[in-house]
């Protein structure tokens, strides 16, 4: 069942995904507490809170300082676009301490953003039982956080939703994906750009639809654990890039095969989305 008129805290609310989630929750009529350091992209219908929850993750009054939310959606994450930043490991214990604090304070539902990079090199469809062997510091940190949180929450009265995202597109001026780079290169007057083979297949989802999935998964109380917030369909990067250039009417072409794939880029990887499909049907 979907909860109505809840007080929902969203950390990382001014981020690439977070701002879309805040808007979706506001559209649904919830009381949204948007937490971040800046609010230039946050929906004005939410209440903006600026506070460093990671620096104060163990404060005993943190839950009340954050206005005692019913649900927490934890999306704050430093250097999310830089997969080998040491910040992923430096802040890991702070993320765990914050979530532990919320569980100990009596929060009944916590959603946390995960990533396909927890899995590492893998070919095929991913579900909640797929073994993980992450190959980047980002994936290692996210994987460790998931394991720690799910272990700590076991036996406690808190629902944990680990929302595993895949390859996100849309709102391309505000992300650091290949699509944002293509836009920038086209705006700079370039007509070609070096690229990989483009043959790798990924699970692409527009950030607006992803935000809807995150919001709906977070406010329901029937399905927990690892939830793939994805399309469930593998599409080649070459096809996706070609369609993007065509849709945007850009005068630029990729030079395929110039760069090798990263060691953790699987030939084909996508998520099984049966859980999120069940969730969007919940009334």
How many folded domains does the chain comprise?
2
Q: Is residue 264 in some structural domain? A: no
Q: Does one domain contain both 154 and 250? A: no
The pair of three-digit structure tokens given for residue 209, joined into one six-digit string: 């639809």
Phi and psi angles of residue 120, each rounded to the nearest 5 degrees, phi first: 80, -150
* pLDDT for residue 29 is more than 80: yes
Q: Does one domain contain both 177 and 119? A: no
Q: Does one domain contain both 38 and 142? A: yes
Q: Does one domain contain both 163 and 177? A: no
Fill in the DSSP letter of residue 188. T
Q: Is residue 144 in some structural domain? A: yes
Task: For residues 250 and 245, give the distance between their C-alpha atoms in angstroms, rounded to a whole number.
Answer: 5
Q: Is residue 262 in some structural domain? A: no
Q: Does one domain contain both 21 and 141? A: yes
259 is a catalytic site residue = no
Task: For residues 6 and 22, give the distance between their C-alpha atoms in angstroms, rounded to a whole number.
Answer: 13
Task: For residues 28 and 89, give the distance between their C-alpha atoms in angstroms, rounded to a whole number.
Answer: 35
Which of the residue ranges 39-43, 90-94, 121-125, 169-173 would you say has the lowest mean pLDDT? 169-173
CA 10 vs CA 220, 231, 260: distances in Å? 16, 23, 37
Q: Does one domain contain both 89 and 108? A: yes
Q: Does one domain contain both 33 and 146? A: yes
The model's pLDDT over 79-101, given as tens digits with 9 standing for 90+, comes to: 988 999 999 999 999 999 999 99
Catalytic residue among 16, 63, 138, 213: 138
Fill in the DSSP letter of residue 225. E
Residue 259: per-residue pLDDT: 86
Q: Does one domain contain both 176 and 100? A: no
Q: Does one domain contain both 122 and 48? A: yes
pLDDT (average), residues 116-120? 94
Q: Does one domain contain both 210 and 194? A: no
Fill in the DSSP letter of residue 95. H
Q: Which domain holds residue 144?
A: 7-168+204-232+271-280
CATH number, position 23: 3.40.50.720
Q: Does one domain contain both 33 and 162? A: yes
Residue 180: per-residue pLDDT: 87
| Average pLDDT of every residue of the chain | 94
pTM above 0.85, yes or no: yes
Q: Is residue 153 in some structural domain? A: yes
- The single residue listed with the structure tokens 């649900």 is 71
Residue 241: per-residue pLDDT: 93
């Amino acid at each position: 069942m979907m909860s109505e008129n809840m007080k929902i805290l969203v950390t990382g609310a001014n981020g690439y995904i977070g701002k879309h989630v805040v808007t979706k929750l506001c559209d649904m009529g919830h009381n949204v507490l948007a937490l971040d350091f800046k609010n230039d992209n946050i929906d004005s219908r939410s209440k903006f809170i600026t506070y460093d929850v990671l620096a104060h993750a163990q404060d005993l009054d943190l839950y009340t300082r954050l206005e005692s939310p019913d649900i927490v959606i934890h999306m704050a994450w430093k250097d999310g676009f830089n997969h080998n930043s040491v910040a992923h490991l430096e802040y890991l214990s702070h993320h765990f301490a914050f979530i532990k604090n919320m569980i100990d304070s009596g929060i009944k539902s916590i959603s946390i953003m995960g990533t396909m990079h927890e899995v590492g090199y893998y070919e095929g469809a991913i579900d909640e039982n797929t073994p993980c062997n992450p190959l980047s510091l980002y994936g290692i940190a996210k994987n460790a956080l998931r394991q720690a949180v799910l272990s700590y929450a076991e036996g406690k009265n808190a629902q944990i939703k680990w929302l595993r995202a895949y390859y996100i597109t849309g709102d391309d001026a505000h992300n650091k994906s290949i699509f944002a780079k293509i836009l920038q290169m086209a705006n700079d007057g370039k007509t070609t750009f070096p690229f990989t083979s483009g043959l790798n297949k990924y699970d692409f989802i527009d950030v607006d639809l992803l935000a809807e999935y995150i919001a709906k998964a977070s406010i329901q109380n029937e399905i927990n654990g690892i939830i793939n917030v994805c399309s469930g369909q593998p599409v080649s990067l070459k096809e996706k890039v070609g369609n993007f250039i065509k849709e945007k009417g850009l005068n630029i072409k990729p030079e395929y095969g110039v760069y090798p794939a990263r060691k953790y880029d699987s030939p084909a990887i996508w998520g099984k989305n049966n859980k999120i499909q069940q969730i969007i049907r919940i009334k």
